[in-house]
Structure 1
Amino acid sequence: MSVDDESGAAALGSSRPAARIRGLRKVYGGVVALHGLDLDVVPGSVVGLIGPNGAGKTTAVRCIAGLLKPDSGEVSIAPSSTPGKSPVAIAAQEIELYPGLPVEMNLTFFSELSGVADAERVLAELTEELELGPLLGKLPKDLSIGQQRLVHVAAALVATPELLLLDEPTAALDVGARETLLAAVARRRAAGVAVLLSSHQLQEVETTCDSIVMINHGEVIAAGNVDDLIGEHGGGRIELTVDGKVEVVDGDDVAAAIDQVMATGGRLEAVNVIKPSLETVFMSLTGMRSTDVEAS
């Protein structure tokens, strides 16, 4: 991710953005959920939006999708290259399916709503891609939460939009379904779709996204290429539990860390070595520990 010289916004590459966000601000009852968010999402890229709970990720996604009106700022979405077709599709954090319609009818309805041409062929391809065949005749209420999530995201993927917004798309999915879905996202990136993916699964973001934008308390605290950010902020960490209290030491020298922490005495109960990764970047910039990250 590079930086736009004119505006300072985070942007990947030099293509015309599918979404261009400037100065996005949203306040709830005196609490600033977003404070001047600048962001570009260009075709053929997956941008990861990460941050602690309550950081403003879902607010940002909903504002970009037009589901929530910001208090100030600008959201510009490039028009669809296909007349009559929506340029944006969103799989929101909340599962949104029609409970009285079988899965197949849900997907058919969403494809028609999005202006999909040759919907029957597209649905057949999506069914095979996401392995939805056994679910087609079932009602959403008869599915597990993970299966409902998969169908919910499929309703967004069926549109093949210019801009795809995914808010926690793999929540509650099992390992196989998660890999299948992320492979589908990668294929759309390869086809030129611009993807904004909000997730708490940092390992998933690290392997799926070209770049990330990290927000905390509504403000961007880091943005850039994943590897570059790991190189700059993602040094190893060692967490030592002494008498029930976790002490954090930067670096990868376990012996030195133990000597440092145990200098004042106490009982060493556990040692957790964390290698450089997007998780260590996240912890370094937000001040969270690995157990906090897992719980967020």
Structure 2
Amino acid sequence: MLSARFLAVGHGRTTLLHDVEFDIAPGEIVGLVGPSGSGKTSLLRVLTGLNRPLDGEVLIDGDPLPKRPRGQVAMLFQSARRSCDPRLTLRRSIEICAPDSGIDWDSLCTKADLQPALLDRRPDQVSDGQLQRAAIARALAGRPGYLLCDEMTAALDPAATAAVVATLRRAADDGAGVLFVSHDLPLVGACADRVLELQSSTVTETSPRKVPS
């Protein structure tokens, strides 16, 4: 269980969110919605250990999140192109994040819906959708318990978006907990098991059928 307990999130002396509490269970997809600038990305960076909270704590199975939670929590960014080294092949980018035990490439490509023939191409040689699926493969290669996804379908066409969401559902079916942030409110309502909404600088839960439009 990935848990936020009385989190305060912000920058310097500016608090964006306060008293944030929720859990993400293994095997579920939780949606997160809220207006631009409300603190969604800042919250994800705290949950993944990239930033420290102003107050409160993040727990994994009841234990405090370590400063470097390698292999436990992975973050997928809005722009896969910005998060991938343009000099490296997709294969090498994935290998860097894998544990020492190696990679079952056939299984990983199936889970990420990534064509094996693309592995030896660089980011500028694949489409946005293909690169985003490679980013998912890179995250899955580290065998994380939780995937935190920050607007990762924002630049994709409907077909690529559907493929990425299907990949996240397979990850959840394999036991990963997924937090899915998106401005595509119908998409969140359709794919999430639960939906969290940022309101008045904190987080409340809403029904997927009542996601604000």
**What's the TM-score bracket when you normalise by the shorter of the two chains?**
0.7 to 0.9
C-alpha deviations, 1:87-142, integer Å up to 9, x for none? 2222133431122111111111122xxx26441x1x32232441333422221133
Report the residue type matching 2:194 in the other structure.
Answer: S
How far has the Cα of 1:194 moved from its partner? 1.2
Runs of 4 or more consecutive aligned structure 1 residues displaced over 4 Å after TM superposition: none
What SS does structure 1 have at the residue aligned with 2:175?
Answer: coil
Larger RCO of the pair (alpha carbons < 8 Å, separation 6+): 2
From 124, 131, 136, the equivalent of 2:106 is 124
C-alpha deviations, 1:12-32, integer Å up to 9, x for none? xxxxxx211111112325432
Unaligned runs of 5+ in 2: 64-68
What SS does structure 1 have at the residue aligned with 2:183?
Answer: coil
Report the residue type matching 1:104 in the other structure.
Answer: R
What SS does structure 2 have at the residue aligned with 1:149?
Answer: helix
Unaligned runs of 5+ in 1: 1-17, 231-277, 284-296
Instruction: Indicate the percent of aligned positions where both proteins have the same amino acid.
Output: 30
From 209, 226, 234, the equivalent of 2:208 is 226
Provide the residue aligned with 2:22 in structure 1: 39
Distance 1:128 1:192, change over 3 A: closer
Report the aligned-residue RMSD.
Answer: 2.3
What SS does structure 2 have at the residue aligned with 1:204?
Answer: helix
* Separation in 1, partners of 2:165, 2:96: 24
Distance 1:94 1:36, change over 3 A: farther
Look at both structures and tell me which one has the larger radius of gyration over its CA atoms. 1
TM-score by length of 1: 0.63
Provide the residue aligned with 2:87 in structure 1: 100
From 181, 191, 202, the equivalent of 2:174 is 191
* Separation in 2, partners of 1:189, 1:49: 16
Q: What is the number of residues matched between the two proteins?
A: 204
Provide the residue aligned with 1:158 in structure 2: 141
How far has the Cα of 1:49 moved from its partner? 0.8
Pairs within 5 Å for 1:75-154: 75-78=58-61, 86-95=71-80, 96-111=83-98, 115=99, 117-119=101-103, 121=104, 123-129=105-111, 130-154=113-137
Conserved 8 A contact 1:88-1:162: yes
Distance 1:154 1:171, change over 3 A: farther
Distance 1:191 1:152, change over 3 A: closer
TM-score by length of 2: 0.85
What SS does structure 1 have at the residue aligned with 2:149?
Answer: strand
* Separation in 2, partners of 1:213, 1:85: 25
What SS does structure 2 have at the residue aligned with 1:90?
Answer: strand
1:48 equivalent to 2:31? Answer yes
